[in-house]
Chain A
Amino acid sequence: MADDQSIITPGYTYGSVTQKISSIVLARRTPWGWMVGFGISFLLLTLLMVAVTYLLVIGVGIWGINVPVGWGFAIINFVWWVGIGHAGTLISAILLLLRQRWRTSINRFAEAMTLFAVACAGMFPLLHLGRPKFFYWLIPYPNTMHLWPQFRSPLVWDVFAVGTYMTVSFLFWYVGLIPDLGTLRDRSKSRAAQIVYGIFAMGWRGSAKHWHHHEVAYLLLAGLATALVVSVHTVVSFDFAVGIIPGWHSTIFPPYFVAGAIYSGFAMVMTLAIPMRAAYGLQDFITMKHLTNMAKVMLATGMIVAYGYMTEIFMAWYSGSRFEQDMVVNRMTGPYASLYWGLILTNILLPQALWFRRVRSSVLLLFIVAMSVNIGMWLERFVIVVTSLHRDFLPSAWGMYYPTMWDWATFIGSIGLFLTLLFLFIRFLPVISIFEMRQILPEPQRKESA
């Protein structure tokens, strides 16, 4: 049994770590649990396909958005998904630079989660464009219209931020995968698998020269990704903060968005890691130590988020601005008050349970808290987007926003897309970085057999 403090159960060797992780991928039989999970995810993905098809045929009028709430679910979901992605980069890049060795067994699938979450996120602004077929107008390219994107607009910054984030996340993930793809190439029995893994391993031989350059590249990418990840949610928060709407126009937005992103991301990593380690028997590699550490990161970032909420309220009072003050009162007592208090409950109050060691060492309770934060962070974006827009300066311009079934179908469908990609990843690629796991093992000494 692993005690609370070890990041890997003792007794593993290079060979057994390799065998244990790669056998999840190379097993001939697909487990029935995977089939069921993939089937459900794929059904949800189909729901997304239907919703998107209907949207492309009819237009954004099928959603609940209208004047004054023009953003609605599309932007709520966009921000929610991008935020979730941030934990992957934090775990893989920032914790690497900080030499936190416990990151090793969770970084690979956290990075995959980042990629898939950003893919889900990127979809929403494009669908929200109204004329998605012209999405490429956001990219600067020489064109016969002699037009350029408006580089002073946060929405164009978003294209660059999210596009770069997607690309760099992919590169980082792939560079880390290359040595493991070599392992899969060398271990797989079927010719087809050898060829496919061989192509993607690109002839990796693990020579001292390869490792030398690989380590340098990996560290450089980690440094670049660290700077990038902070910038991405900052730019996302600019979408709001640069606008003059009460509740948006505030300088607390960038730091508190970044903290919220990491908070929600760790909650999602926890949500995925807990069932996965149980299903594949990976408790030796993803130990209680990992879950406890993640819980502590959640507690810390959650407190920053709570501070952000309090600052918003304080600044509304301190600014003396009638509109800011009304915005806060409206959030707390207006038509969406139940969502605001739900947000406080799920995102701030319930996660305080993580102060207790008993909660941090219970897998079930951790899972419940993580789910609570997933919901809470979504509610946060709902509150920011909708309550700010629906009542701004002039009461004559006020209105209400209600999501339609197509809003829900697209949102739930995007979860289907996310889970489908995740299930495919679990089946075809190593969910734990094998070569990095070998590195955290003690070097085999003369007495023991390797």
Chain B
Amino acid sequence: MRPSRRLYGLMAEFERPDDLRKAVRAVREQGYRRLDAYTPLPIDGLAEEMGMHFSWLPLIVLTAGILGAIGGFLMQYYASVISYPLDIGGRPLDSWPAFIPVTFELTILCASLSAVFGMLALCGLPRPHHPLFNEPRFVLASQNRLFLCIESRDRRFDREETRKLLESCGPSGVYDIEDK
């Protein structure tokens, strides 16, 4: 083994969501925190099991939506009242009801863009390569198998002990993940 290869973590493979849930609970009870589960579908309650109760995303989207609304309205106000006032039969320049449709659309546009880019940023995507992709079995994580990986940077990580713990959870296999 070349010295540049270091261990990224240990990964256990499961077939049933229930087994994965139990494994996550067992591992977290042992004090492990640097772990993540990889599944082909969102598993109910798994994120909560892993201590993810909160997402910044709704707040990001709300902020972007409010900014879109204010910005959209001010743009129209500036254009129609300050920069290019058109006197049409003496009607008021600040005809705010007519500005609502565009304000609304820009609210939705900004909120939606922030939802997508916010999600990607929070997920750390795009990230074309990741040590997990070194494991040939990992292609099944997007098809029909569920994986749990404990990363080696966890304070409690110990190659032998952690492996034993994962094996005690009844996986169909435990693999070393190397960081090439």
Residues of chain A touching chain B, judged by Cβ–Cβ distance below 8 Å, are 13-15, 18, 140, 146-152, 154, 156-157, 160-161, 163-164, 167-168, 171-172, 174-175, 179, 182-183, 185-187, 198-199, 202-217, 220-221, 224-225, 227-228, 231, 235, 238, 435, 438-439, 443-446, 449-450
Residues of chain B touching chain A, judged by Cβ–Cβ distance below 8 Å, are 15-18, 36-43, 46-47, 50, 52, 55, 57-58, 61, 75-76, 79-80, 83-84, 86, 95, 98-99, 101-102, 104-106, 108-109, 111-113, 115-116, 118-120, 122-123, 125-130, 132, 138-145
- Chain B nearest CB from A15 CB (Å) reads 4
Contact in complex: A168, B109 (CB < 8 Å): yes
On whether A199 and B128 interact (CB within 8 A), knowing A140-B79, A161-B105, A175-B119, the answer reads yes
On whether A216 and B40 interact (CB within 8 A), knowing A198-B128, A208-B47, the answer reads no
Instruction: Give the complex CA separation of A174 and B143 in angstroms.
Output: 19
Query: Out of A156, A186, A443, which one reaches B16, CB within 8 Å?
Result: A443
Instruction: Give the complex CA separation of A182 and B139 in angstroms.
Output: 9
On whether A444 and B16 interact (CB within 8 A), knowing A18-B144, A183-B142, A208-B39, the answer reads yes
Instruction: Give the complex CA separation of A164 and B72 in angstroms.
Output: 13
In chain A, what residue has the closest Cβ to B65?
A224
Interfacial chain B residues near A182, Cβ < 8 Å: 142
The residue among A164, A171, A179, A183 with the most chain B CB atoms within 10 A of its own CB is A164
Contact in complex: A435, B41 (CB < 8 Å): yes
Ranked 10 nearest A-B pairs via Cβ? A202-B126, A15-B144, A217-B119, A186-B139, A148-B79, A14-B144, A203-B127, A211-B42, A212-B47, A438-B41
Instruction: Give the complex CA separation of A445 and B15 in angstroms.
Output: 9
In chain B, what residue has the closest Cβ to A22?
B143
Contact in complex: B37, A160 (CB < 8 Å): no
The residue among A172, A183, A209 with the most chain B CB atoms within 10 A of its own CB is A209
Contact in complex: A205, B141 (CB < 8 Å): yes
Contact in complex: A151, B98 (CB < 8 Å): yes
- Chain B nearest CB from A89 CB (Å) reads 12
On whether A15 and B80 interact (CB within 8 A), knowing A157-B101, A202-B127, the answer reads no
Instruction: Give the complex CA separation of A172 and B20 in angstroms.
Output: 29
On whether A152 and B80 interact (CB within 8 A), knowing A157-B102, A214-B42, A450-B16, the answer reads yes
In chain A, what residue has the closest Cβ to B128?
A203
- Chain A nearest CB from B34 CB (Å) reads 12
Contact in complex: A216, B55 (CB < 8 Å): yes
In chain A, what residue has the closest Cβ to B127?
A203
Instruction: Give the complex CA separation of A434 and B118 in angstroms.
Output: 24
Contact in complex: B15, A171 (CB < 8 Å): no
Contact in complex: A444, B109 (CB < 8 Å): no
Contact in complex: B144, A13 (CB < 8 Å): yes
Contact in complex: B130, A186 (CB < 8 Å): no
Contact in complex: A224, B111 (CB < 8 Å): yes
21 contacts between A and B (CB under 8 A): A15-B144, A140-B75, A148-B79, A148-B80, A151-B99, A160-B101, A202-B127, A203-B126, A206-B38, A206-B39, A208-B38, A209-B47, A216-B57, A224-B112, A231-B105, A231-B108, A439-B42, A443-B17, A445-B18, A450-B15, A450-B16
- Chain A nearest CB from B129 CB (Å) reads 7
Contact in complex: B40, A14 (CB < 8 Å): yes
Interfacial chain A residues near B83, Cβ < 8 Å: 146, 148
The residue among B50, B95, B102, B122 with the most chain A CB atoms within 10 A of its own CB is B102
The residue among A14, A150, A220, A445 with the most chain B CB atoms within 10 A of its own CB is A220
In chain B, what residue has the closest Cβ to A445?
B16
